[in-house]
Structure 1
Amino acid sequence: MQKFRELLNFKYTWRSYQQEFLDGFQSHIKDEHLHVVAPPGSGKTILGLEILIRIGKPTLVLAPTLTIRNQWRSRLLDFFAVHKDFNEYSLDLKKPSLITFSTYQSLFALTKSFDENAKQQLLDFITSHGIKTLVLDEAHHLKNEWWQCLYHLKQIEGLTVVSLTATPPYDSSTTEINRYFSLCGPIDEEIAVQDLIKNGDLCPHQDFVYFSKPEEAQIKYIVNYREQILNFTNQLLANKELQEALITQDFYVHPKESLEYIYQNPTFFSSVIIYLNACGYAVNEQNLKILGFSKNDVNFPSFTYEWSEALLQHLLVDQREAFCALEAILLPLEKELKRIGVLENKRVNFIGDEVLYRNLSNSPSKLESIYQIVKSTNANLGDAARTVILADFIRKEFLDFEGSDTKALNKLGVVPIFKYILAKQSDYAQLGVLTGSLVLLHEAVLPNLKALLAIEKLQVQVVEGAEGYLFIQVPDTLKHKIAESITQLFQDGAIKTLIGTKAFLGEGWDAPCINTLILASYVGSFVSSNQMRGRAIRVNANNPDKTGTIWHLACLDPTATNGGKDMEKLQQRFEAFTGVSLRDEIYISNGIDRLVLPLKWDENTHLAAINAEMLETAQQKSDFLYRWNHAIEKGSILVRELKIPSAGDQPFAKTKKLHALNAGKYVMLEVVLGVSMFVPEFLIKNMGAVLGKGILQVFYIFCAALLLGFGPKTFKAIKLYFLFGNQYKKTKKIAKAVLGYLLDDKTPYFESKKATIHAEQNLKGTFSIYLKDASQHDSNVFISLLEEIIAPVDNPRYLLVNSNWFKRKLNIRNYYVVPKEVAKNKTEALIFQKHWNANVDGSKILFTRTFKGRKVLLKARFAHLKYQFEEVSKKTITWK
């Protein structure tokens, strides 16, 4: 470290939140991992450089692109180099130096250049150059084949891995998320957006959504698609050939001899039983015994689309060869699924998410949404309007469109947006297009561009159907200056609305003057969405009162009450960043709930009113600042919490739905209400018998009627209550067990010894649990363990099995997962069991990798089938 400090030292003053992070970073680095989440504008690269300097060992920095790699170098020289001639760095991975800046692609290419023993040669190469620190910048960019290289490097003894990102890839698959965190480690520190706003490094901003309905042709397509899936499902339930083939399979007829197969494919086995039950078959009693149930002891879930997927994915794709004897039955199913678009790329998908998402997210109805936002912004801000519209594709095929009939503009893209705005407002002269291969400007702006490029002549061409607009044919010698010049025109106000591609303007491009951003992009993860969003929330030195408005577009599926896949993707996008609530209570949190949108979408939802209110609220710039300042004052720390949803949107004390873990309470409520109504009615009807036969005989009749009428429901209520207990109280007990385990002297990686559990429940039954007086790292560890425990049972190494005398009589057991991080060895699992039994109940611990354990695990999974395809909890980030 001494050598680093002699050569490199930060030349300026740290911001308060940066200094706070640096003061505590040594405690996080003890496990040779440091994982930092920092939003755009927080100086993530600068922090990364200071970290590697403080570690003080030869370092390899890996970036996703050459542009970002070069930014690391320039930040090093501009902010840290004590001597102007500092040169102990390298941009060539094959020739490392004290600090080497490279890309993930280069590391992969280096690995590929080695022979068959590439893994060992890569390790030898890195160790021979003494590299002891690995910095991963925006590791969410990694492609599948790049992961292996980095996993190999992690085997180097004493290697410290520093991971920096603006957004962890939470919208990826479970496998990818687990892989990401196994590489980067748990999040140690997260710099909050509110800290940057309070410090004046980001401007106050707000997110809005503009909704649209599909075009008539799209609606017909969606309805037809849904009808075809419904028809197929009905035909599947009537498919006697498939049913008779399944009931003759060895794993179904002789389950005891097929236990290994059943335990390896529990979801498929469950889907077969649920399918046959839905078809009217009495499920083989042996199969229920394998699961640990009797005929009267199991409630079968409905045969939903998800179970259809599980059944057919196994039969048609995953294990097709094993069912070759059924080819005559399976082939027609395969052909029909491919015809209607349910089977694509070896994946059965009845929900139709990809098919319908492509259809809705690319809806031309969003062109009108964009125009209305631009129109409102210009009317509100006038000459101060600076709007950027980001799309995925250029769509040059629409360049020859002309006229005002916009029906021909049937795709979303840069050129359709450009043409649509001009079709609606032909005299708009302050519109511009900037992509890597297309530049369009109004002729009135041409002299300004020539002056900036220091050139007298430019080759131009008239754009058809866009009066006054020109193609700018940029010479190769000026290509590097064109983006800079167009950006300057935008900042000067010669261009008020700039349309470009996400690839060209979304990452690395910067224009602090942006005050309105319209995200017309739908390709890619919410990681890239958050990066695009970061363009609009940067402060502008020339406008200290700047506020940022970010517009998201959603085309609603009229056949889905949740709004459809486009809406679902938007909800995922909002999980990636925190923001201030739009109305009512003032608070800061991630997620889309802070916009207070309708819970259900149907024909009674007034989209026009919602959009009008969004446009009106977007004009109230002073409210942005007020809400941010007020929310920041209310809190002091960014809290990671687990939110457990209630059964519905009605107050939980009033609902009678058998959902979640309050089921027993609602059934018992029905029993009490039923008895209270039954008693008066019984007495009135039997008053004559009371007078004629005597009170004692009538009492016996009353008891018998009560038992017959309400006995089954009473038994069900008792059973459900003991099976699930009270969700709120039970989860608090589980949380205490988790914290007790983490605070145990034998758990060294948890350092927040004064941490306490805090739980809140709202009127709708939803409640949240989080830690107070805990570091972000420790809070994240706590929440991750808690979430894993209460999630549906999957395939854990250890289970906690509770069974007391009363529950045994009711044939009831509770099953909870011992989290993966705890279950690495039995010693850790037993420590966790000790705290579980002290806080929750007396459970036995069961190793599931034995024959007996597999049997219990299968029963545990089947007992939780109700929740397998439901979201039972979610992590949130809130400023408290």
Structure 2
Amino acid sequence: MGSGEADDPLPLRVHQRGALDALEAAYAAGRTRAWIVLPPGGGKTRVGLETAARHLADGTVTRAVVLSPNTAIQGQWVDAATAFGLTASDDRGSDAELVSLTYQAVAVFDADDEVADDPDAGTSQLARLHPNGRDLVERLRKTPGLLLVLDECHHLLEVWGELLAEVLAELPSAHVLGLTATPPATLDADQARLVDELFGGIVFQAGVPALVREGDLAPYLEVAHLVTPTVHEQEWLAEEATRFGELTTRLMDPTFGSRPFLQWLDERYVTAVPRAEVAPEQLDAALRLHFVGMLALPPGAVLSERHRRPPTPQDWVLLIDDWLRRCVVASEDPRDHDVLRVVRRALPAVGYVWTRRGIRAGRSTVDRVLARTMAKTTATVDLVAGEWDSLGDHTRVLVLCDHERASAIVPRELDGVLDQQEGSARSVIAALVGDPATAGLAPLLVTGSTVAAAESTLRDLVEQVRLTDARLADALVVEPGDAAVAQLTGPWTSRRWVPHVTRLFESGGTRVLVGTRGLLGEGWDAPRISTLVDLTTATTSTAVVQTRGRALRIDATWPDKVAMTWSVVCLTEAHPRGGQDWDRLVRKHVGFQGVDAEGDVVDGVGHLDASFSPYLPPAIADIDAINHRMAERARDRQAVRAWWRVGEPYVDQVRPTLRVRGRLAPVAPDVRPEPPAVVAAADGVLFRGAVPEGPGAFAVRHRHERLTGWRDLVLAPLLAPPSLDQLGRAVADALAAAGLGGPGGAAVVVEPHPSGEYRCRLDGADEPSSWLFADSLEQLLAPLATPRYVVARYVLGADDVPDVGVWATLGGRSAVRRAIAQARPSGVVWHPVPTALGVNAARAGAFAEAWDRWVGPTQLLYTGSPEGAGVLAAQQGSDPFDATTVVRRHWS
């Protein structure tokens, strides 16, 4: 049996040892179920084999049964177990030490679909199984000393959560080990609950950046290539947009309906007393209408980054649906009957339909055009050719599509706009084989049902097969096909042809594989992949992590490998839903970390380009410049490798960081701030601490100059706005004092960045506290909106300070100090108390105390009082810091 000890030719990696140690500790504590998270390429199989081997050796396990999602992974377990010294089989009836099966042995999974239909509620899932599945569960139940390994076990949560619970209930004495690459932070509430119930929580986890820093995964770069639809597609989209544009124009008409749309919105969100209960997404939609000047600011609302953009069709639909159901439908007024007719006719243009239960999502032909545009296929050819020019012999490109063929019929309205097979793997392989820039790379299509390429490439594959299986090679037939793409047929299935195709790819016989996510997007192992071109539409965390994991393996033949992932995205401004493909890209990068152009590891689309926002697609006019930047970054792989700082220490923690640009006092590097010793109050200047010494006697010759210098040093912070340090510490101290969590102001870290922005985070805090701090500080820096409480900051101008020259001459330093104390602030600026701290007077008071300590004496006002309402009316919309803020999740 394999041992994994020091004499093993492949010693355990840091995170494999960590996972095994955590697992053994859990077993020693009496647990029999465990859930371990390691990214693709992180060695989950080795962890499972070590666990099986150790417990087979000590007799606590008599047989290990591994269930995995597809035949490729099933075969890899058999091969790995055999190489590890275990007897292994893929036959459910085998007596081997390790039996590797697919989840299909228990229940049917569709290899090309991310999620199957949910089983009927209220029905025993075991009872619904095929007899073969029930027989397997019974065999497992009767196996003493069973170790059940559930590889890529996130599938069970997404598809068969109830079935998993019933199966494990039948195996109370078995040891169960769940292995997955899906980060726990991406599990929804139901999935997280199921993990806790069935496995007792996660025993060990490590993220992709940690393994890159260790050197166990290749450094990588995520880049996007932006395209616009073809001319014919663009014309069709513009025509479709007309109907929805006409609707939004009608909605602005004060005679459209008995209670017009804008009047309804004002009554619902602004003037309602008591305040109407609305869903968070509805309020977000209303705030985006406010941003473009269509609605007053709802009381208590604060604009954040996600609100600073025009409303999307989804926003309009949310608000229109609320208006229709609550106001229009029940009306007998003929004007409202006309409203319903107009809305019903316009909704399909943006992918929605009116039903008896309100507006629902319908078939989106617009999304189909954006997802499957011919422009993406053309771009893929260009990207592959570019990688060939850049990498030469190292080039190994994997192009992933959703499907081999487009099964759905192109809707009649897209006839002549979109080809039937456009966007499928078939159309991509035809383009690659047919283009002189890529044909020499011998592109090859491999799916669950097909192997296809140019005839010469397929004959090379037959010879590759002959090296290990001459009989099979003799039975294979190259059949000519359309567009110079032939097909290889014979007595084999994907289980047999994937290893042969992989060897051809690894050896350079083909340098471009085009495949489907269902076959190659998960579990398939080809360390020489240099580049992934992602044409898929799946946005689940599982699909994203698994797809990107294909390129991250270390390549022994290329020690300096840097993996590249290109996402091809179609944008248009010709239709209000022209950003759907962008939204898909955003969802793919939520929770997925990558290195940005400044060497920071962050999640979200911000790591693709600093200009990218999760809330708004780039302007079409900027596409060429963006694509140029992306190409430049992609060419400099050594710079990318340097950004990852492989081998340097790390924490393996992701926390939100507030990035700020604005009118804030400079932050002194490496100087830990203290509460200011001199502050401006309503009635003058207060000295309440150790005052700076100022220039020394040896530095300045004359006493008058020395005193003047001391005066200027004292006045400098009074005349400048507060620093981000001061504001951040006030927020953090207030949150801690109010019992809302976090370690307080001492944990605030502010770092000046070469780009000119500041980055502020709360060190050593848990994630909820970190988020609350970042959100609260962002609200404090925002323009004054409609907070429940405000605090005053007294502002001292240069003209407010007496001339201290005479005082300096007559009375020395103490006289200068008295002169400064006579200054009287000429202005006051009001700032919002962050929402979490403005819930009640006690919390607001905690913020005022923290503000007094870090910024200066203040006055706290409730904006519901006459005085507070007056302040709000006078200063609403003021933006004292003129700050641009975004929150990004940083890994360190």
Q: Report the counterpart of residue 442 of structure 2 in structure 1.
A: 430
Given the alignment, which residue of 76, 88, 112 partners 2:123? 112
Pick closer, same or farther for the CA change 1:549–1:806 going to 2, 3 Å. Answer: closer
Given the alignment, which residue of 427, 430, 439 partners 2:451? 439
Please say if 1:638 is aligned against 2:652.
yes
Please say if 1:816 is aligned against 2:835.
yes
Indicate if the aligned counterparts of 2:596 and 2:607 stay in contact, CA closer than 8 A.
yes
1:112 aligns to what SS in structure 2? coil
Please say if 1:65 is aligned against 2:69.
yes
Distance 1:301 1:202 in 2: 38
Structure 1 unaligned regions, length at least 5: 1-6, 97-102, 294-299, 399-404, 655-720, 745-749, 773-777, 794-799, 824-828, 843-858
Given the alignment, which residue of 759, 770, 775 partners 2:762? 770
Given the alignment, which residue of 494, 514, 525 partners 1:510? 525
What is the TM-score of this pair, normalised by structure 1? 0.62
Q: Report the counterpart of residue 389 of structure 1 in structure 2.
A: 399
Name the structure with the higher helix share: 1
Q: Which amino acid aligns with 2:599?
A: I
Distance 2:295 2:398 in 1: 59
Indicate if the aligned counterparts of 1:278 and 1:302 stay in contact, CA closer than 8 A.
yes
Q: Which amino acid aligns with 1:362?
A: R
Distance 1:781 1:511 in 2: 38
Pick closer, same or farther for the CA change 1:242–1:837 going to 2, 3 Å. Answer: same
Q: Which residues of 2 match residues 537-616 of structure 1 at below 5 A?
A: 537-558=552-573, 564-582=579-597, 585-596=598-609, 598=611, 601-602=618-619, 604-605=621-622, 607=624, 610-611=626-627, 614-615=630-631
1:605 aligns to what SS in structure 2? helix
Distance 2:325 2:576 in 1: 31
Q: Which residues of 2 match residues 45-84 of structure 1 at below 5 A?
A: 45-47=45-47, 65=69, 67=71, 70=74, 74=78
Distance 2:169 2:329 in 1: 38
Pick closer, same or farther for the CA change 1:345–1:579 going to 2, 3 Å. Answer: farther
Distance 1:35 1:835 in 2: 42
Structure 2 unaligned regions, length at least 5: 89-94, 107-113, 302-307, 409-415, 666-720, 781-786, 795-828, 854-871
Report the more deviating stretch, 380-389 or 59-68. Answer: 59-68
Distance 1:743 1:79 in 2: 54
Q: Which residues of 2 match residues 642-657 of structure 1 at below 5 A?
A: 642-644=656-658, 646=660, 651-652=662-663
Distance 1:292 1:815 in 2: 10
Q: What is the CA-CA distance between 1:587 and the residue it aligns to?
A: 3.5
Q: Which amino acid aligns with 2:835?
A: Y
Q: Report the counterpart of residue 712 of structure 2 in structure 1.
A: none
Indicate if the aligned counterparts of 2:555 and 2:561 stay in contact, CA closer than 8 A.
yes
Pick closer, same or farther for the CA change 1:64–1:353 going to 2, 3 Å. Answer: farther
Across the two proteins, how many residue pairs are aligned to each other?
711
Q: What is the CA-CA distance between 1:248 and the residue it aligns to?
A: 11
Distance 2:359 2:727 in 1: 36
Given the alignment, which residue of 466, 469, 472 partners 2:488? 472
Q: Which amino acid aligns with 2:69?
A: T
Q: Which residues of 2 match residues 85-104 of structure 1 at below 5 A?
A: none
1:412 aligns to what SS in structure 2? coil
Tell me the alpha carbon deviations over residues 634-681 of structure 1, each in whole angstroms, 9 at most, x when there is no partner.
Answer: 6522332213355xxx75569xxxxxxxxxxxxxxxxxxxxxxxxxxx
Instruction: Provide the alpha-carbon RMSD of the alignment.
Output: 6.6
Q: What is the CA-CA distance between 1:374 and the residue it aligns to?
A: 1.9
Tell me the alpha carbon deviations over residues 108-161 of structure 1, each in whole angstroms, 9 at most, x when there is no partner.
Answer: 79983379999xxx9xx9999999999876565467774566789999999999
Q: What is the CA-CA distance between 1:485 and the residue it aligns to?
A: 1.6
Q: Report the counterpart of residue 309 of structure 1 in structure 2.
A: 317
Q: Which amino acid aligns with 1:570?
A: L
Q: Which amino acid aligns with 1:338?
A: L
Q: Which amino acid aligns with 2:245?
A: L
Given the alignment, which residue of 453, 457, 461 partners 2:479? 461
Q: Report the counterpart of residue 670 of structure 1 in structure 2.
A: none
Tell me the alpha carbon deviations over residues 696-735 of structure 1, each in whole angstroms, 9 at most, x when there is no partner.
Answer: xxxxxxxxxxxxxxxxxxxxxxxxx9xxx99875554444
Please say if 1:218 is aligned against 2:213.
no
Given the alignment, which residue of 375, 381, 384 partners 1:371? 381
Pick closer, same or farther for the CA change 1:383–1:211 going to 2, 3 Å. Answer: same
1:638 aligns to what SS in structure 2? coil
Q: Which residues of 2 match residues 149-164 of structure 1 at below 5 A?
A: none
Please say if 1:332 is aligned against 2:357.
no
Indicate if the aligned counterparts of 1:643 and 1:874 stay in contact, CA closer than 8 A.
yes
What is the TM-score of this pair, normalised by structure 2? 0.61
Pick closer, same or farther for the CA change 1:217–1:153 going to 2, 3 Å. Answer: same
Q: What is the CA-CA distance between 1:482 and the residue it aligns to?
A: 1.7
Q: Which amino acid aligns with 1:442?
A: A
* Aligned sequence identity (%): 19
Q: Report the counterpart of residue 826 of structure 2 in structure 1.
A: none
Q: What is the CA-CA distance between 1:65 and the residue it aligns to?
A: 2.1
1:40 aligns to what SS in structure 2? coil
Pick closer, same or farther for the CA change 1:535–1:241 going to 2, 3 Å. Answer: closer
Report the more deviating stretch, 359-368 or 198-207. Answer: 198-207
Q: Report the counterpart of residue 758 of structure 1 in structure 2.
A: 749
Q: Which amino acid aligns with 2:565?
A: I
Distance 1:389 1:132 in 2: 40
Q: What is the CA-CA distance between 1:232 and the residue it aligns to?
A: 0.9
Q: What is the CA-CA distance between 1:625 and the residue it aligns to?
A: 3.5
Q: What is the CA-CA distance between 1:519 and the residue it aligns to?
A: 1.4
Tell me the alpha carbon deviations over residues 510-538 of structure 1, each in whole angstroms, 9 at most, x when there is no partner.
Answer: 22222222112223435313312211121
Distance 1:384 1:558 in 2: 38
2:606 aligns to what SS in structure 1? helix
Q: Which amino acid aligns with 1:588?
A: V
Indicate if the aligned counterparts of 1:111 and 1:149 stay in contact, CA closer than 8 A.
no
Q: What is the CA-CA distance between 1:235 and the residue it aligns to?
A: 0.1
Q: Report the counterpart of residue 12 of structure 2 in structure 1.
A: 14
Q: Report the counterpart of residue 417 of structure 1 in structure 2.
A: 428
Q: Report the counterpart of residue 343 of structure 1 in structure 2.
A: 352
Please say if 1:229 is aligned against 2:244.
yes
Please say if 1:360 is aligned against 2:370.
yes
Pick closer, same or farther for the CA change 1:764–1:357 going to 2, 3 Å. Answer: farther
Pick closer, same or farther for the CA change 1:731–1:76 going to 2, 3 Å. Answer: farther
Distance 1:803 1:427 in 2: 66
Pick closer, same or farther for the CA change 1:9–1:556 going to 2, 3 Å. Answer: same
Q: Which amino acid aligns with 2:12?
A: W
Pick closer, same or farther for the CA change 1:64–1:601 going to 2, 3 Å. Answer: same
Q: Report the counterpart of residue 191 of structure 1 in structure 2.
A: 206
Distance 2:157 2:206 in 1: 26
Given the alignment, which residue of 253, 257, 263 partners 1:238? 253
Indicate if the aligned counterparts of 2:233 and 2:418 stay in contact, CA closer than 8 A.
no
2:534 aligns to what SS in structure 1? strand
2:225 aligns to what SS in structure 1? strand
Q: Which residues of 2 match residues 253-332 of structure 1 at below 5 A?
A: 262-263=276-277, 308-316=316-324, 328-332=337-341
Distance 2:579 2:21 in 1: 46
Distance 2:12 2:232 in 1: 56
Q: What is the CA-CA distance between 1:343 and the residue it aligns to?
A: 1.9
Distance 1:791 1:158 in 2: 51
Indicate if the aligned counterparts of 1:554 and 1:567 stay in contact, CA closer than 8 A.
yes
1:214 aligns to what SS in structure 2? coil
Q: Report the counterpart of residue 38 of structure 2 in structure 1.
A: 38
Indicate if the aligned counterparts of 1:108 and 1:149 stay in contact, CA closer than 8 A.
no
Indicate if the aligned counterparts of 1:44 and 1:164 stay in contact, CA closer than 8 A.
yes
Q: Report the counterpart of residue 854 of structure 1 in structure 2.
A: none
Tell me the alpha carbon deviations over residues 221-277 of structure 1, each in whole angstroms, 9 at most, x when there is no partner.
Answer: 34344443332112012153524378999x979x999969x4477987998999999
Q: Which residues of 2 match residues 781-796 of structure 1 at below 5 A?
A: 781-784=768-771, 786=773
Tell me the alpha carbon deviations over residues 39-78 of structure 1, each in whole angstroms, 9 at most, x when there is no partner.
Answer: 2111235446778999x99999996725588479759956
